[in-house]
Amino acid sequence: MKLTIAALPGDGIGPEVMTETLNVLRAMNLDMDVREGLVGGISMDTHGVALTDDTLHMAQQADAVLFGAVGGPANSPWSNPANKVRPEQAILGLRKGLGLFANLRPVKVYDALIDASTLKPEVVRGVDMIILRELTGGCYFGKPQENRGEAPNREAVDTTFYTEGEVRRLMRMAFDLARGRRKKVVQADKANVMATGRLWRAVANEMAKEYPDVAYEDVLADALSMHLLRTPRSYDVIATENLFGDILSDEAAMIAGSMGMMPSASLGDDMNAHGFRRGLYEPIHGSAPDIAGEGIANPIAMILSAAMMLRWSFGLAREADRIERAVEKLLADGIRSMDLKSLGGKTVGTRELGAAVIERL
Ligand code: NAD
Ligand code: IPM
Ligand code: MN
Q: Which residues carry out catalysis?
A: 140, 190, 222, 246, 250
pLDDT at position 253 = 87
pLDDT at position 332 = 93
Pairwise CA distance, residues 27 & 357, whole Å: 10
- Helix axis angle for 195-208 and 164-179, nearest 10°, is 40
pLDDT at position 343 = 80
Q: Is any ligand 1 atom within 6 A of the Cβ of residue 262? A: no
List strand residue ranges (DSSP E) for the chain, in order.
3-10, 32-36, 64-69, 102-108, 128-134, 142-148, 155-159, 184-189, 215-220, 237-240, 265-271, 277-281, 335-336, 346-347
- Helix axis angle for 300-312 and 350-359, nearest 10°, is 40
pLDDT at position 342 = 80
Pairwise CA distance, residues 106 & 236, whole Å: 10
Distance 288 CA to ligand 3 centre (A): 12
- Condensed to tens digits (0 to 9), the pLDDT of residues 317-358 reads 999 999 999 999 999 999 999 998 888 777 999 999 999 999
What does the chain come to in residues? 361
pLDDT at position 82 = 85
pLDDT at position 148 = 95
Pairwise CA distance, residues 290 & 154, whole Å: 32
Distance 222 CA to ligand 3 centre (A): 17
Q: Is any ligand 1 atom within 6 A of the Cβ of residue 288? A: yes
> Are the CB atoms for 10 and 90 separated by under 8 Å?
yes
Q: Closest residue (by CA) to atom 11 of ligand 2?
A: 246
Pairwise CA distance, residues 123 & 254, whole Å: 13
Distance 204 CA to ligand 2 centre (A): 25
Ligand 2 pocket test: pick from 39, 88, 95, 242 the residue with the most ligand atoms within 8 Å of its Cβ.
88
- Condensed to tens digits (0 to 9), the pLDDT of residues 139-170 reads 999 999 999 999 999 999 999 999 999 999 99
pLDDT at position 150 = 96
Q: Is any ligand 1 atom within 6 A of the Cβ of residue 298? A: yes
Ligand with smallest separation from the Cα of 41: 1
Pairwise CA distance, residues 59 & 97, whole Å: 9
Ligand with smallest separation from the Cα of 116: 1
Q: Is any ligand 1 atom within 6 A of the Cβ of residue 287? A: yes
Q: Is any ligand 1 atom within 6 A of the Cβ of residue 18? A: no
- Tell me: pLDDT of 131 over 90: yes
Burial class of residue 212, CB neighbours in 10 A (0-12, 13-18, 19+) = exposed
CA neighbor of 215 nearest in space, from 197, 195, 236, 200: 236
- Condensed to tens digits (0 to 9), the pLDDT of residues 61-81 reads 999 999 999 999 999 999 998
Ligand with smallest separation from the Cα of 285: 1
Domains and CATH numbers, the chain: 1-100+259-361 (3.40.718.10), 128-255 (3.40.718.10)
DSSP string, 152-210: TS-EEEEE----HHHHHHHHHHHHHHHHTTT-EEEEEE-TTT-HHHHHHHHHHHHHHTT
Q: Is 344 helix (H, G, I), strand (E, B) or coil?
A: coil
- Per the model's pLDDT, the better-predicted residue between 254 and 343 turns out to be 254
How confident is the model over 233-254, as a mean pLDDT? 96
Q: Which residues contact 118 (CB under 8 A, 6 or more apart)?
A: 254
Give the pLDDT band (50/70/90) at residue 213.
very high
Ligand 1 atom closest to residue 10's alpha carbon, by position in its atom list: 40
Q: Is any ligand 2 atom within 6 A of the Cβ of residue 88? A: yes
- Tell me: pLDDT of 272 over 90: no
Ligand 2 pocket test: pick from 65, 67, 91 the residue with the most ligand atoms within 8 Å of its Cβ.
91
> Are the CB atoms for 102 and 132 separated by under 8 Å?
yes
pLDDT at position 81 = 84
Scanning 283-349, the segments in alpha helix (DSSP H) are 300-312, 317-332
Cα-Cα-Cα-Cα torsion 101, 17, 235, 240, nearest 10 degrees, comes to -20
Q: Closest residue (by CA) to atom 5 of ligand 2?
A: 88
- Condensed to tens digits (0 to 9), the pLDDT of residues 8-55 reads 999 999 999 999 999 999 999 999 999 999 999 999 999 999 999 999
Q: Is 211 helix (H, G, I), strand (E, B) or coil?
A: coil
- Helix axis angle for 221-230 and 242-256, nearest 10°, is 10
Ligand 2 atom closest to residue 250's alpha carbon, by position in its atom list: 10
Per the prediction, the chain carries an average pLDDT of 96
Q: How many CB atoms lie within 10 A of CB 21?
A: 29
Distance 286 CA to ligand 1 centre (A): 3
19 φ/ψ angles, rounded to the nearest 5 degrees: -55, -50
Q: Is any ligand 2 atom within 6 A of the Cβ of residue 134? A: no
Q: Is 144 helix (H, G, I), strand (E, B) or coil?
A: strand
Ligand 2 atom closest to residue 87's alpha carbon, by position in its atom list: 6
Give the pLDDT band (50/70/90) at residue 1.
confident
> Are the CB atoms for 63 and 313 separated by under 8 Å?
yes
Distance 249 CA to ligand 3 centre (A): 7
| Percentage of the chain lying above the pLDDT 70 cut | 100
The pTM assigned to this predicted structure is 0.95
- Tell me: pLDDT of 178 over 90: yes
Distance 128 CA to ligand 2 centre (A): 22
